Amino acid sequence: MVILREKTEVIESVVDGQQSLFSDDELAQLQDSNVSITEVIEKQTKQVVRHRKAKSSGQRTAFLDGLPQVDKTIHLTNTDCPKYHEQMKKIGNHLYSREVRLKPAELYCVNLYQESYKCNDCDEDGKVMIISSQMPQSLLPHSYVSSSVLAKVAEYKFALALPFHRQVKL
């Protein structure tokens, strides 16, 4: 980008006894009002690029897969259809969440499965009714930390004054 700016300079007379850098002809030419000096200023715009470190994916899954696995299914308490009051058929279960739990000095991963049921009578009416079991609320949403782990971390930190980096080594 080039910007042209017109600029006129007026040079004051030289003080007696002081030498000038310009000759008398050059001074007269610079002080002439018909002569203008054009100054060329070149502006360069810099584009700043932030380089962010890419998030490493799969660390949580790799950590959880490295622990001993315990599968636990939360069963539906009432398997009767709320509309027809008939026994519903189990159609499957899916992995609802994973959380790390702590036995004294041992970590293990509990996989919580949610059961789903459907009513055969509702299916004949053309409307599929699927009912799933009620899952327990997580202590911290979107976290794999359970209350046992959080309690042990708080105990080590506040009761024993053990810094977090030393707790990781445990």
Summarised one tens digit per residue, pLDDT across range 65-107 is: 999 999 999 999 999 988 888 899 999 999 999 999 887 778 8
- In percent, the amount of the chain with pLDDT more than 90 equals 21
Residue 163's contacts (CB-CB under 8 Å, 6 or more residues apart) are 157
Residue ranges making up the domain that contains 99: 60-145
**Burial of 106 per CB tally in 10 Å (0-12, 13-18, 19+):** exposed
Per the structure, the count of domains in the chain is 2
Give yes or no for a contact between 67 and 108, defined as CB atoms under 8 angstroms apart: yes
**Domain annotation covers residue 150:** no
pTM confidence score: 0.45
pLDDT at residue 41 tops 80: no
State whether 128 and 68 are in the same domain.
yes
State whether 71 and 141 are in the same domain.
yes
- How many C-beta atoms surround the C-beta of residue 55 within 10 A? 6
pLDDT at residue 169 tops 90: no
Mean pLDDT over 150-167 rounds to 89
State whether 73 and 28 are in the same domain.
no
